[in-house]
Amino acid sequence: MNFKTLITLLCVICLVSCSRKSDKLDAPVVRPVKVAVVQSGNNVVKTYAGIVNAQETTDLAFRVNGQIIEIPVVEGQVVQEGQLIAALDTRDLVLQNQAKKSSYITAKAQYERFQRLYQQQAVAKQDMEEAETQYELAKVEWDISENNLKDANLYAPFPGTIEKKFVDNFQRVSYGQSIVRLVNTEQLYVSFVIADNNINELRKAEARFWVRFNATGNTYFKCTVREYVDISIGGGGIPVSLWISDPAFKKVDAEIKPGVSCEVKVDFLYNDHKNWVTVPITAVFIDQANEKESVWVMGANGILQKRVVDVIGLTGKDDVMISAGLEPGEVVVSAGAFTLHEGQKVKVYE
């Protein structure tokens, strides 16, 4: 091989190499993008933060003053209806009762004597009526004393759990002072707040409810509406409460107590929104050319098409409702819309 032949061969190799590099530079770059599938707007699922409440909650108190001599319950203890919660020292109450009883017996005897004397016209009617008044007053005072003696024992008015103790044994307490807080854990409900614009769905019963607790993992329990306020309280939304109607909840309700936080999932049914769809809020951008809300639609061949859409509003913290411009099942770019252009070829980011 002479020198000219070698030079010619090297030139050919360089040309081929440059041609391959040029081919690589000219090849379009397929950009990976995150995408989302357009969902039907007939069913919109939203989640809310809720809290568990007891249907019956009451602070139990004595109706008399006294010193506690027995309080045989502890916080967290389950009690039955009629079970003793606390007892007062009754020594003073017993003495008061005996004194009122004696006064009653005396007043009764005095009244009966004046009745006989009045029939014999030995006393004036006014004196007889005065004796009657004293008799009735003594009877009322004795009845009150009897009730006070009975009220020295505090009993559970319904089955439940002792949530809190406010006093200790041998402590003096006053009339109406809270002794314990009793909650009925047999009847629990969940409360939360929804947005004002969802009140129509509640009125039409076009919503389904579920609740999930951290203690039960990913299990959702079906609920029914207990009550809701038909107006917004101070512009903060509509307060709603739910009964946990799912029979499966009975297996785990012992683990759920009042005050426990939970997640409420609501499935709103929009039967009059047949053509509405939802997409992630990050998929929508303002087109600088026409200042209209738009999305990037990814075709089957991976080519992007800009589409103007009509946005109704938020359906939650992550999605928006769209009334025109998209169809369920289409694929839209869900992030980085401002760095893309019409006709660009992309692929799904994995």
The fold of the 46-55+185-269 domain, in CATH, is Elongation Factor Tu (Ef-tu); domain 3 (2.40.30)
For the chain, give the mean pLDDT.
84
Round to whole Å and give the CA distance between 235 and 279: 27
Band of the pLDDT at 326, cuts 50, 70, 90?
Answer: confident
Specify the range with the lowest mean pLDDT, choosing from 2-16, 67-81, 101-115: 2-16
Paired tokens of 277: 């769809």
pLDDT greater at residue 154 or residue 305:
154
Paired tokens of 139: 């009877």
Reduce the DSSP state of residue 158 to 3 states and report it. Answer: coil
User: Does 1.10.287.470 match the CATH number of domain 91-150?
Assistant: yes
Q: Strand 172-173 and strand 220-228: pairing?
A: unpaired
Classify the C-alpha dihedral 322-323-327-328 as positive or negative: positive
pLDDT tens digits for 131-182?
999 999 999 999 999 999 999 999 999 998 898 999 999 999 999 999 999 9
pLDDT tens digits for 200-238?
777 766 788 999 998 888 899 999 989 888 777 677 788
CB of 135 within 8 A of CB of 94?
no
pLDDT tens digits for 251-301?
776 678 888 999 999 887 776 666 788 888 888 888 888 888 999 898 888
For domain 31-41+274-348, which architecture applies? Beta Barrel (2.40)
Round to whole Å and give the CA distance between 41 and 58: 44
Q: Which residues contact 106 (CB under 8 A, 6 or more apart)?
A: 138
Q: With a cut of 50, say whether residue 3 has pLDDT above it.
A: no
Number of H-type helices and E-type strands within the chain: 4, 25
Q: What is the CATH number of domain 63-88+152-183?
A: 2.40.50.100
CB of 51 within 8 A of CB of 192?
yes
Can you give the pTM of this predicted structure? Answer: 0.57
Residue type at position 251: K
Domain ranges of the chain: 31-41+274-348, 46-55+185-269, 63-88+152-183, 91-150
Specify the range with the lowest mean pLDDT, choosing from 55-59, 99-103, 173-177, 339-343: 339-343
